[in-house]
């Protein structure tokens, strides 16, 4: 029934590869939840710790900018630092996904999970 399809005809092999991919995907997701990147704004006056999955885990604000008259600036810097951290986390996540798909012999531009 599957003659001439080569590797595609090997259902057992495909299932094994799918299971391997699922296991490695779960491991990668766990690792990305533990990987913390640092986002910065205002030349390092505000720093945000963000997981590679985008969860903000902490902020560090230089006390020199904590003035009532600078409230809006501080708020903007906090948002910018969080966005920077999330962008760095997303880039780290994308790079690790690319490495995983490449190691499995899949196209590196394949979007996982499906």
The residue ranges of every structural domain in the chain are 36-105
pLDDT at 1: 47
DSSP H helical segments within the chain, as ranges? 11-34, 71-103
pLDDT tens digit string along 31-87?
999 999 999 999 999 999 999 999 999 999 999 999 999 999 999 999 999 999 999
Residue of 91, 103, 94 lying closest to 39 (CA atoms): 91
Using a cut of 0.85, tell me whether the model's pTM lies above it: no
Contact of 102 with 108, CB cutoff 8 Å = yes
Please give the CATH topology (third level) of the domain spanning 36-105.
Ybab; Chain: A; (3.30.1310)
């Amino acid at each position: 029934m599957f003659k001439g399809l080569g590797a595609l005809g090997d259902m057992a092999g495909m299932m094994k590869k799918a299971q391997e991919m699922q296991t490695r995907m779960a491991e990668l997701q766990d690792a990305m939840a533990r990987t913390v990147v640092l986002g910065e704004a205002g030349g390092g006056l505000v720093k945000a710790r963000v997981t590679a999955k985008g969860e903000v885990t902490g902020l560090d604000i230089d006390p020199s900018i904590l003035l009532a008259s600078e409230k809006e600036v501080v708020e903007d810097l906090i948002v910018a630092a969080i966005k920077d951290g999330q962008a760095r986390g997303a880039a780290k996540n994308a790079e690790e996904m690319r490495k995983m798909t490449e190691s499995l012999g899949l196209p590196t531009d394949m979007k996982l999970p499906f």
